[in-house]
Amino acid sequence: MNERCGCVFTIGALINRCAVDRRERTMAGYRTMMALLLTAGSVFQLSESSVTCKNEEGNEVDWYILYKLPLGYGAGVSYLYMDNSTNGWIKSKTNIGGSPGTLANTLKPLFDFYDTKTEGFGYILYNDQPPRGENASTSYGHSKGVVMLDNKTGVWLSHSTPKFPKYRSKKFWPANGKTNGQTFLCVTYSSDQFEEIGLQLKYIHPYSFDYAISEFFPDALRDVAYQIGFPRKSPWFRQTNLNSTGGNIFSSFAKYTHFNDDLYSGLIVENMTESLYVRSWGKSGRSSLLPSECNPGTPHHVYNVKQVKLLKRIWNDTNDHSKWCVAPNSGWTCIADLNRHESQKNRGGGAVCIRNTAVANAFNTIINKAEPCPPSAKREL
């Protein structure tokens, strides 16, 4: 029998068969074997790479919120970070598009899939301003996000950044992304929540610009990838509670194009026990900005946040493209898809909300100026 060290796969066998009289070949065989083991190890790691939200250090977290600062704070790539352990905002050490970094670490299973077509992994990328060229038709939702999952867990990352992430590129941050402020919410869910997430997305009706469907996609999520199966009867909205892997409850609001009303004053505030402070994009092209809404007939008002204070500086809503709202006393905070624009009443979109005092305080304290009720609204409350 031919004694070939290069074919030996265990250290024990290697030493027994080669150690005494084949010292040089043993070392060569040992190196070959270690290379094989390392390769096998990294393949193993890839398929085990968990599909969860990850922080700047690459550790798994249940959820996080990012607030990217506008250009003017440095090069427009700095961001604030918050998760369940930070008790409010912390300034990140990395850049928003940097690798490693919070987004790069979170998107790693997607980047791995580009290389290895990881078994069981699937994703949907959606954006009304997709990364390659033209805008999606306005019949699609005004919404942007990333869904990734395997057979155990997945993430739903909703955000406000046009052309993010760049098409099938590990250099995922688009050049246009530095100008304005942007928000991101990442939540880790077990895979059994994605049927419900798919149902919410059917109302939002996003423009899916890239996807890979795995056998673990529930039907609703497949429909979302294929852009089929829209809501057919009123009510043209849907609210549901989603359970994160860490046991937090997230309230998801979604409206379909036929809803024909503002997301905040027409839907979210109706579900709240107090007035809502809303931050959204303060430029609306040919459409008009909706004023703060203070109808005497409605118990709670909706105030536009005209200025926020981030890192000791004031930011108007004309260079902050983020979308969020807070109900400060009851502790609800939502990260949303839509602006308070007349033209977005008939767009699909939604918001994902968390009830957490530290989060609500963090958003409430950055409000520097809210638009008062319009003089026409006679305040009787």
Q: Which residues bind ligand NAG (CB under 6 A)?
A: 62, 84, 119-120, 129, 134-135, 151-152, 193, 196, 239, 241-243, 246-248, 251, 271-272, 314, 316, 332, 353
Residue type, 178: K
Smallest gap, in angstroms, from Cβ of residue 27 to ligand NAG?
35
* Residue closer to ligand NAG (CB basis): 60 or 223: 60
Q: Can you spell out the DSSP letters for 147-216?
A: EEE-SSEEEEEEE--TT-SPTT-SS---GGGGSSBEEEEEEEEEGGGHHHHHHHHHHH---EEEEE--TT
Range list of β-strands (E), 178-327:
182-190, 208-212, 237-243, 249-255, 276-279, 302-310, 313-316, 324-327
Smallest gap, in angstroms, from Cβ of residue 48 to ligand NAG?
9
- Kindly state the tokens that stand for 374: 């319009």
Smallest gap, in angstroms, from Cβ of residue 24 to ligand NAG?
40
Smallest gap, in angstroms, from Cβ of residue 19 to ligand NAG?
36
Question: What sign does the CA torsion over 99, 122, 113, 152 have?
Answer: positive
- Is residue 210 within 8 Å of residue 164, measured between CB atoms? no
Looking up tokens 């306005």 gives 138
Smallest gap, in angstroms, from Cβ of residue 212 to ligand NAG?
15
For ligand NAG, the nearest residue by Cβ is 246
Residues 6 or more apart in contact with residue 294 via CB below 8 angstroms: 301, 302, 373, 374, 377, 379
Alpha-carbon distance values, 125 to 131, 145, 221 (Å): 10, 6, 12
Return the active site residues: 321
The one-character DSSP state at 291 is: P
* Residue closer to ligand NAG (CB basis): 119 or 219: 119
* Residue closer to ligand NAG (CB basis): 18 or 155: 155
User: What CA–CA distance (Å, rounded) separates 356 from 331?
Assistant: 5
- Is residue 61 within 8 Å of residue 184, measured between CB atoms? no
- Is residue 140 within 8 Å of residue 201, measured between CB atoms? no
Smallest gap, in angstroms, from Cβ of residue 20 to ligand NAG?
41
Beta bridge partners of 74: 72
